[in-house]
Amino acid sequence: MEGACEGSLACSTCHVILEDEIYDKLEEPTDEENDMLDLAPGLTETSRLGCQVIMSKDLDGMVVTLPNATRNVQSERFAERPSHQQQPQPSAQPQPQ
Ligand code: FES
């Protein structure tokens, strides 16, 4: 799982799906978390941003499911950076002389 914004509520790459009983033990998500969750593919009734889940003994043994897809604007644009574009390869064809 990626946490592209490192927990600053600026992405939804840490989207996780929790079991009902675990979800109910947590504090309600903030408006900022809900705004980011709205952008997460595969949103469910028990979705949370993993970076906002504060671990405690009460959550021991919890099972987390990752959604089938994620949205990461950073990764989507990663290949567009000039330093990450493919350089043309020299031709393997013999050049006429
Ligand atoms: S890592 Fe970006 S919101 Fe959790």
Amino acid 6: pLDDT = 92
Residue 29: CB partners within 8 Å, gap ≥ 6?
37, 48, 49, 52
Phi, psi of 64 (to 5 degrees): -115, 135
Q: What is the pLDDT of residues 2-28, one digit of tens each?
A: 899 999 999 999 999 999 999 999 999
How close is the Cα of 34 to the center of ligand 1, in Å?
Answer: 12
Q: Hey, whose CA ends up nearest to atom 1 of ligand 1?
A: 3
Start-end of H helices in the chain: 20-25, 31-37, 73-78
- Per-residue pLDDT tens for 27-83? 999 999 999 999 999 999 999 999 999 999 999 999 999 998 877 655 555 556 555
Regarding the beta carbon of 7 and ligand 1, being less than 6 Å apart is answered yes
Q: So what's the pLDDT on residue 1? A: 82
**Is 74 close to ligand 1, i.e. is its CB under 6 Å away?**
no
